[in-house]
Amino acid sequence: MEPHLIIIALALAALVGVSLGLLGGGGSILTVPILTYVLGMEPREAIASSLFIVGATSAVSMISHARAGRVRWKTGALFGVAGMAGAFVGGLIGGFIPGVVLMVLFAIMMIVTAIAMIRGRKTAGDAASAPTHGRATIRILIDGLLVGVATGLVGAGGGFLVVPALNLLGGLPMAVAVGTSLLVIAMKSFAGLGGYLLSVPVQWPIVLGFTATAIAGSFVGVALAGRLPERALRRGFGIFVLAMGAFVLTQELPPLLTTLTT
C-alpha cells in the first residue's frame, strides 16, 4: 500500500474521532468510505474494520463524557444489550452478502441519516409527550435491536440513530444522550465485529493505526462538545454525509445494476 494513501487515511481518521467525540456519531459514516476508496479495502473487510475502529474510539470517548457526568449507564446498557443482539445477527448476515450490495445499502443509510440530520429533531422540551416508562423501555429495546441490525449489517447507522432515541424515548438531555450513545455504539460495534470475524479477515496493523489516530481525534471532539453550536454542526455534517452518500451510490449502483441485468 502506498505511503501517501496511508497518510491521507490517518489524517481522515482524526476527523472520525472528532466526529464521535463531538457529535456522538458519524464514525462509520466516514470510516467505511475511507477504508474502501482511500485504502482499497474490500467492502466487507472495510465494514468489519470500521466496527472495531468506531467501537474502540467510542469506548475511549465515553470515558471523558462519563467523567463529566454525561453517561446514563442503565439506559445505555439497556439499549446496548438489544443493539448487541441485533448487531451480531447483522454481522453474521453481512459476511455472506456481496460487497457491492452492502455498499449500496450503506449509501442508502448515509442518505437517510443525512436527511434526518439536516431536518433536525425534537428537543428535550417535548418530554411531556414522551411515552410512559414501561412503554419507553419496550421501545428502547425494539429500537436498539433494529439499530443494531443496521449497524452490524452495513457498519453504519449508529450514533445518529441512537442519540435521538435516547433523547426522545429515554428522556435524556441532548448532551447526556450524546455521551450515553457512545456506550451503546461501543457495545454493538464489537458485537457486530464478532459476527463478521467468523467469515471476514481484518488487516490488524492498518486497523490499529487508524484506531489510534481516531482516538486522538476523539479527545479534541470531547473538548469541543458543548462549546460549538450543535444545530449548525449537525446540519453542516449532514450536508457532507449526503454528498458522500450520493458519491458512494454513483460508484456502486452501476456495477450492481450490471450484475442484475446480465
- Tell me the domain boundaries of the chain: 3-261
Are the C-beta atoms of residues 124 and 167 closer than 8 Å to each other? yes
Instruction: Please report, as a single letter, which amino acid is at residue 210.
Output: F
pTM of the model: 0.78
The residues, ordered by sequence, that sit 6+ positions from 101 with a Cβ below 8 Å of its Cβ are 256
Q: Is 188 exposed, middle or buried (0-12, 13-18, 19+ CB in 10 A)?
A: buried
Query: Tens-of-pLDDT digits for all 262 residues of the chain?
Result: 688 888 999 999 998 888 888 777 767 778 888 999 999 999 889 989 998 998 998 898 899 889 989 899 998 999 999 989 998 898 889 888 888 898 888 888 888 877 877 876 554 444 444 455 567 778 888 888 888 888 788 766 566 678 777 877 777 887 788 889 889 989 988 988 988 898 899 999 999 999 999 999 988 888 887 677 767 777 887 888 888 889 889 988 888 888 788 7
Measuring CA to CA, how many Å separate 172 from each of 56, 79, 136, 165, 209? 24, 13, 12, 9, 34
Spatial separation of the C-alpha atoms in residues 236 and 217, rounded to whole Å: 19
Residues 6+ apart with CB under 8 A from 212: none
Pick from 43, 35, 45, 44: which is nearest to 12 by CA? 35
Calculated CA dihedral for residues 231, 237, 239, 244, nearest 10 degrees: -160
Burial profile 138-167: b = 16 or more Cβ within 10 angstroms, e = fewer: ebbbebbbbbbbbbbbbbbbbbbbbbbbbb
